[in-house]
Amino acid sequence: MPNDLSPTARALRALEVLQARPGTTAGELAARLGVTERAARRYVGILREAGIPVESARGPYGGYRLGRGTRLPPVHFTQSEALGLVMAVLAGRPAADGADDLVGTALGKVVKALPESVGRQAALLREYAAAAPDPYAVRPDPAVTGELVAAVAARRRVSVTYRGESGDEWEAEVDPWSVVVRHGRWYLLCHSHRAGAIRTYRVDRVRAVRPTAHAFAPPEDLDPVAVLAENLGLGWAFPTRVVFAAPLTEVAPWIQPPMGRLEPSGDGCVLVGSTRNPAMYAQEWLARVPFAFRVEGGQELRAAVAELGARFTAAATDQP
């Protein structure tokens, strides 16, 4: 902590530490405040003089903790914390700079509640910083998202009403493993009992969530982000199969998980997966890979690659 803080400021910081970490010892409190243990005990005394019950216990499991029923003051932000909060909100949700946005109104209330010395720069940042909207970001219903997260935490199976890309709706019982945010979109990673397999559902397409009486246990050592990325490359309408002449170890850094599964094949490797957009697969993904490849399937991807190649060839000719 800065050395020029007043005893009152350090006492408030001590209160925050005890609130977040009950059982903090005098040594731990001193380390967090940047003072001696004797000084840390003095700040605990200041809190007690202010009427805040701070209990202490000796022994290996002892330390300081706030008494039961203690009513704590509002959350305190440093100027850096306030600026970081505004920056994080604007980076993740550019529309939050508008007064009619749900997150924007909540952020405005937080900024207005800050002391003038802390909130001045945060208010200026929110007013004058501009954020470009992400055209691919989709915001799900906060209530639906909250219900799914609660089910994940409780490890409770739920029944969801889901609307597919075509507009059709269906019911499915799922074991919700995790809610993952990826490139501005929210996904539910789950085991679908309807499909009998892992599924990734867009949370913005979940219309309703109903709890069931069934509990579940998620896979051990689950990496939700990795499993989601791998699963996004499977189950789409158009199959893909791309053969590379280079070894797998050289090609692998250029392959994103949604492109499919990369496997060794002779002296080279083969990429097997599926896509819903062959043109995007060819233009944005395959075109970036700096190795010779041959598209063996499917026909839609072969046609997209041929069209892209023809466009590039025409662009390099001397004739208008």
Cα–Cα distances in angstroms (integers) from residue 214 to residues 14, 37, 164, 170, 175, in the given order = 43, 51, 25, 20, 9
- What is the average per-residue pLDDT within 147-174? 92
- What is the average per-residue pLDDT within 3-9? 68
| Residue 149: both structure tokens together | 């997260």
Residue 283 has pLDDT above 60, yes or no: yes
Buried b (16+ CB within 10 A) or exposed e, 54-71: beeeeeeeebbbbeeeee
d(C-alpha 125, C-alpha 121), whole Å: 6
Q: Using 50, 70 and 90 to split pLDDT, how confident is the model at 180?
A: very high
pTM above 0.75, yes or no: no
Tens of pLDDT, residues 84-127: 888 888 777 766 655 567 778 888 888 887 777 778 888 888 88
Q: Which DSSP string do the residues of 53-111 spell out, in sequence order?
A: -EEEE-STT-EEEEPTT--PPPP---HHHHHHHHHHHHHH-GGGGSTTSHHHHHHHHHH
Q: What is the pLDDT of residue 127?
A: 82
Q: Are 7-66 and 142-219 the same fold in CATH?
A: no
Q: What is the Cα gyration radius of the chain? A: 27
DSSP 203: G
Which is higher by pLDDT, 292 or 117? Answer: 292
Q: Using 50, 70 and 90 to split pLDDT, how confident is the model at 5?
A: low
Q: Using 50, 70 and 90 to split pLDDT, how confident is the model at 176?
A: very high
- What is the average per-residue pLDDT within 229-248? 86
| Residue 157: both structure tokens together | 């199976």
CB atoms within 10 A of CB 292: 10
Q: Hey, where are the domains in the chain? A: 7-66, 79-128, 142-219, 238-316
Residue 132 CA, chain-centre distance (Å), reads 19
- What is the average per-residue pLDDT within 162-189? 89
Q: Position of tokens 């940042």? A: 125
Q: What is the pLDDT of residue 70?
A: 60
Rounded percentage of the chain residues whose pLDDT exceeds 70: 90
- Based on the number of CB atoms within 10 Å of its own CB, is 38 exposed (0-12), middle (13-18) or buried (19 or more)? exposed
Q: If one looks up domain 142-219 in CATH, what number appears?
A: 2.30.30
Q: What is the pLDDT of residue 90?
A: 75
Q: What is the pLDDT of residue 97?
A: 58
Matching CATH number, 7-66, of 1.10.3720.10, 1.10.569.10, 1.10.10.10, 1.20.140.150 = 1.10.10.10
Q: What is the pLDDT of residue 118?
A: 78
Q: In terms of Cα–Cα distance, which of 228, 239, 220 is closest to 199?
A: 228
Residue 288 CA, chain-centre distance (Å), reads 26
